[in-house]
């Protein structure tokens, strides 16, 4: 029994082989395309997160500039605090505490948005604990904590304040 391929069998075998090669190539192309799309999605997510972090920073910077303009202008400070029945020194300390809290907020947002790595964030947390060690910052935090997001409140209270029982 000698088996020999006739022309029709050879053509059919080549078609099967060609179909197999085409199928494997399509699977590899699909996998590469999927990986490329996933990479592009991650880049878009990172750009959105970066934009959000930058927008938050600009808002905080604008508030800081506004308050510093008031703090650095004695007559404006006097007018503002008198009009609002505030003690100028107390208001200055509250604004400084607010600046420090907002600085911690920027670092936290940059971490949660993937802008800074965990290694850098660990160092940042040590600095942030030092910020929240100031009595004026802790007091101000207890007054303003409700305006911050749940996740930031948990971070401050569980990561920065809880160790000291404050």
Tell me the C-alpha distance between 108 and 157, whole Å: 13
Reduce the DSSP state of residue 163 to 3 states and report it: helix
Specify burial of residue 148 (Cβ count, 10 A radius: 0-12, 13-18, 19+): middle
Structure tokens, 32:
């590469």
Spell out the domain ranges in the chain. Answer: 51-164
Q: List all residues 6 or more positions away from 113 whose beta carbon is below 8 Å from its beta carbon.
A: 49, 50, 52, 53
147 DSSP 8-state letter: G
Encode the chain (166 residues) as per-residue pLDDT tens digits: 556 778 888 888 889 999 999 999 999 999 999 999 999 998 888 888 788 778 878 888 888 888 889 888 999 989 999 999 999 999 999 999 999 999 999 999 989 888 888 888 988 999 999 999 999 999 999 999 999 999 999 999 999 997 554 4
H-type alpha helices, the chain: 7-71, 74-83, 88-112, 118-132, 135-144, 150-154
pTM, entire model = 0.67
């Amino acid at each position: 029994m000698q088996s020999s391929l006739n022309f029709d069998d050879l053509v059919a075998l080549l078609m099967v082989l060609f179909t197999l090669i085409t199928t494997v190539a399509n699977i590899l192309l699909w996998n590469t395309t999927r990986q490329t799309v996933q990479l592009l999605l991650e880049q878009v997510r990172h750009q959105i997160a970066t934009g959000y972090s930058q927008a938050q920073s600009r808002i905080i910077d604008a508030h800081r500039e506004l308050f510093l303009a008031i703090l650095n202008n004695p007559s404006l400070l006097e007018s503002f605090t008198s009009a609002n029945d505030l003690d100028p020194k107390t208001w200055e300390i509250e604004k400084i505490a607010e600046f420090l809290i907002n600085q911690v907020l920027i670092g936290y947002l940059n971490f949660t948005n993937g802008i800074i790595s965990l290694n850098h964030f660990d160092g940042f947390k040590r600095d942030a604990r030092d910020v929240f060690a100031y009595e004026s910052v802790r007091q101000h935090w207890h007054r303003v904590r409700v305006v911050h997001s749940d996740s930031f409140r948990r971070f401050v209270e569980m990561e920065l304040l809880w160790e000291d029982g404050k």
